[in-house]
Amino acid sequence: NRLLSKRLQNISYSQTLAMSNKAIKLKNKGYDIINLSLGEPNFSPPNFILNDAKKAIDEGSYHYYTPVSGYLELREVICKKFYRDNGLKYIPSQIVVSTGGKQSIMNVLLSLLNPKDEVIIPAPYWVSYYQMVKLCEAIPIIIPTIMEKNFKINPKKLEESITKKTKLFILNTPCNPTGSVYSYKELKNLVEIFKRYPKIIILSDEIYEHICYSVKHTSIAIFPDLYDRVITLNGLSKAFSMTGWRIGYIGAPEWISKSCEKIQGQITSCANSIAQRAAISALNASPIEIEYMIKEFKKRRNLVLDMMKEIPEFQIINKPNGSFYVFPKVSDLFGKKFYGKIIRNSEDLSSFFLEKAQVSTVSGSAFGDNEYLRISYATTEDKIVEALTRIKKSIKII
């Protein structure tokens, strides 16, 4: 519709949500769909968090607006968490709690970006960064990476993509969709470049921080030269399996946290009050409390990788060390004909798997690289085995 704003016409629907919705619709029609397109853990949130949320409801004084940036008690707990888990020192005025990491990111982008500003995003990237940057009328500058290099950018590539208009760099480690985790050393090498460009701000999305296997997660704000221009983003969705509770938060220089608060004050006020009480309970707890989920994810990651060895058309030579996705190269299947239809790209392949194997995945094109497919292993082992067996069978029949 022409009456819609140009800003809106310029962006597309979230392809991960679209794929999930398609799968849910087919499931509701009675099809036995296995959903490997979701960015959502299948655990229940830990009981101690749920109990504290129930207590907060019964207690009776938490049904009202909270301060825009979140209860002070929660922001204090977040400061403790940042110090305990990441070695980062923040004070409550540097923290803003929002309705999910998505809102936290949008607050930051709206605070910083002017039309035509450039934002560097390494690809494959999480779908929403690209669209959110466009929604701000800024320009996403994509740095492609390759599987052979673990989908990581190197300092040279980073420097080549910097121009006078570069305003922001978005880092996502552990990464959705590749599972890559930057080591301390790799980040240090990037920091050396940023030191030469003091005006570039860094948004560090660490929402998968705890879902990290053999490499230790490092926050880029730990480097003193950068601390004053890094926004560290985190949330409850992935680590605590609390996607629907919608709690995200940032730690940032005060001039940025204050501007996020200003925006949020106009468009949402505060995040949900009971969810904030639950967040106090979640973030006060030691990460040991959620270790059982991480162990489970690791087992599933190994299972997926083992099973993929038996599907030669799925190439995967990197080792995804975090998040709960694998990102195999599937372009060997392009140009091949199945059931009379040619698979031209990752979207065709994803649709093919949904129709013929009844497994939903997300095309690599959604993440900025058409040669790949994203498979989420945030589901049970049984379902993973069944889904990959179906996928394997579906491409054997030519």
Contact footprint for ligand PLP (CB under 6 A): 39, 100-102, 126, 172, 176, 205, 207, 235, 237, 243, 248
Question: What gap in Å lies between CA 328 and CA 9, rounded to an integer?
Answer: 32
The partner residues of 334 in beta bridges, in order of sequence, read none
- Pick the closer one to ligand PLP by CB: 207 or 357: 207
Question: What gap in Å lies between CA 77 and CA 79, rounded to an integer?
Answer: 5
Q: Look at the block and give the residue holding tokens 């049984």.
A: 382
Question: What gap in Å lies between CA 152 and CA 321, rounded to an integer?
Answer: 13
Q: Report in angstroms how near the CB of residue 304 gets to ligand PLP at its nearest.
A: 18
Q: Report in angstroms how near the CB of residue 203 gets to ligand PLP at its nearest.
A: 10
Question: What gap in Å lies between CA 169 and CA 174, rounded to an integer?
Answer: 16
Q: Report in angstroms how near the CB of residue 378 gets to ligand PLP at its nearest.
A: 10
Question: What gap in Å lies between CA 237 and CA 100, rounded to an integer?
Answer: 8
Q: Report in angstroms how near the CB of residue 374 gets to ligand PLP at its nearest.
A: 11
Question: What gap in Å lies between CA 298 and CA 179, rounded to an integer?
Answer: 12
- Pick the closer one to ligand PLP by CB: 129 or 352: 129
Q: Report in angstroms how near the CB of residue 230 gets to ligand PLP at its nearest.
A: 16
- Pick the closer one to ligand PLP by CB: 237 or 241: 237
Q: Report in angstroms how near the CB of residue 38 gets to ligand PLP at its nearest.
A: 9
- Pick the closer one to ligand PLP by CB: 176 or 318: 176
Q: What is the CA radius of gyration of the chain?
A: 21
Q: Residue 353 has what DSSP assignment?
A: I
- Pick the closer one to ligand PLP by CB: 99 or 150: 99
Alpha helix (H) residue ranges in 39-126: 47-59, 72-86, 100-112
Q: Report in angstroms how near the CB of residue 335 gets to ligand PLP at its nearest.
A: 31
- Pick the closer one to ligand PLP by CB: 92 or 101: 101
- Pick the closer one to ligand PLP by CB: 207 or 375: 207
Q: Report in angstroms how near the CB of residue 233 gets to ligand PLP at its nearest.
A: 7
Q: Report in angstroms how near the CB of residue 205 gets to ligand PLP at its nearest.
A: 5
Question: What gap in Å lies between CA 90 and CA 75, rounded to an integer?
Answer: 10
- Pick the closer one to ligand PLP by CB: 37 or 350: 37
Q: Residue 362 is encoded by which pair of tokens?
A: 């997300």
Q: Which of 61, 81, 58, 127 lies closest to 249 in space, CA to CA?
A: 81
- Pick the closer one to ligand PLP by CB: 297 or 352: 297
Neighbours of 339 (CB within 10 A): 10
Question: What gap in Å lies between CA 14 and CA 69, rounded to an integer?
Answer: 27
Surface-to-core class of residue 36, CB atoms within 10 Å of its CB (0-12 exposed, 13-18 middle, 19+ buried): buried
- Provide the pairing of β-strand 325-326 with 373-376: antiparallel
Q: Report in angstroms how near the CB of residue 290 gets to ligand PLP at its nearest.
A: 16
Question: What gap in Å lies between CA 63 and CA 25, rounded to an integer?
Answer: 35
3-state secondary structure of 118: strand
Question: What gap in Å lies between CA 70 and CA 97, rounded to an integer?
Answer: 5
Q: Which of 246, 263, 231 lies closest to 90 in space, CA to CA?
A: 231
- Pick the closer one to ligand PLP by CB: 271 or 395: 271
